[in-house]
Amino acid sequence: MFDTNPSLIQDGPQHTHIWAPKPTPLILIHDGGGTIFSYYCLDTLSPARPLYGIANPHYHSGESFEGGIPQMARHYLSLIRSTFPSGGEVLLGGWSLGGLISLAIAELARGTDLKVVGIVMVDSVCPIGADPEKMRKAVRHGVAWGESTREDTKEKVLRCFSEAFRMVNEWELPEWGDDRWGAKPPPVVLLRAKEWVPVPEEAEGGGAVSRVDLHRNDRLLGWGGYRKDLVRKVVDIPGHHFNIFAMGNNLDVVSQEIGKACVELEKFGR
């Protein structure tokens, strides 16, 4: 499933009318756990478009991106350019950490022949601007494992989460300086989970929330404190941060909204 990177998850339309524009490929970046399994659970996007996923290439080896998110973004940009050697237009996105990495990739792609039309952030929370008192009390959640999850899988996922936590804490968000390539980032559609992640009763009594809910009361999940022009549209989706891709109604809605977001971003970005 993950032998190639990026992996082609959905082929897109088999035939298009000669006068109709081809749908822009969507490339989804892995979440903090390093895998792209969740994206394989998506229903076929509507309208259909090529859908790729990028998994953490160090998932099995345990190596680190010592340069953090900027180094990871440079490597992922090279992977994308190897898939699209002639350049062109792409959409980026991802769940949680994947949305943050997409933003870093988009900044690096400026001035190249690869145009990032827009970014689909799936409950990606801005890593800056949270209330210090809430941050001090924030609960860092463990992973909910399936009964058949192997021990080596648990070890690899937890290692990726630990690395993700380090990299996000060290990351300085792109400044998008005023240069000849344009100062603005690509437009973002933010899919925002409506529910709060449950926390232990003793933590809840002390006013604690999950780290991913530090900006939950803010419809923009904190991104307005970074750039007011970043998020063009917010769409509420069912569930909380960690069960967005659970089978059932959550996944049905998420699949639909990712498809709609791509259409919106094609309009915004052109």
Q: How far is CA 195 from the centre of its chain?
A: 18
Q: Is the pLDDT of residue 204 over 60?
A: no
Domains and CATH numbers, the chain: 7-128+151-198+211-269 (3.40.50.1820)
Q: What percentage of the chain exceeds 90 in pLDDT?
A: 74
Residue 1: its pLDDT value, please? 47
Using the 8-state DSSP alphabet, how is residue 219 labeled? Answer: T
Tokens of 61: 């080896």
DSSP 224: G
Which among 242, 234, 250, 254 has a CA at the least distance from the CA of 213?
242
Question: Which of 3-12, 13-22, 208-217 comes out lowest in average pLDDT?
Answer: 13-22
Q: Is residue 16's pLDDT more than 80? A: no
Lowest mean pLDDT among 63-77, 91-105, 132-146: 132-146
Pairing of strands 88-95, 26-29: parallel
Buried b (16+ CB within 10 A) or exposed e, 190-207: bbbbeeebebeeeeeeee
Reading the block at residue 129, the tokens are 């601007």
Q: Which residues pair with 190 in a beta bridge?
A: 121, 234
Q: Residue 200 has what pLDDT?
A: 77
* 38-97 pLDDT per residue, tens: 999 999 999 999 999 999 999 999 899 999 999 999 999 999 999 999 999 999 999 999
Structure tokens at 143: 């992973």
Q: Residue 105 pLDDT > 90, yes or no?
A: yes
Query: What's the pLDDT tens digit per position in 219-268?
Result: 999 999 999 999 999 999 999 999 999 877 789 999 999 999 999 999 98
* Residue 231: CA count within 13 A, CB half-sphere: 23
Region 149-158: mean pLDDT is 90
Instruction: Assign 206 a pLDDT band (cuts: 50, 70, 90).
Output: low
pLDDT tens profile 176-191: 875 555 578 999 999 9
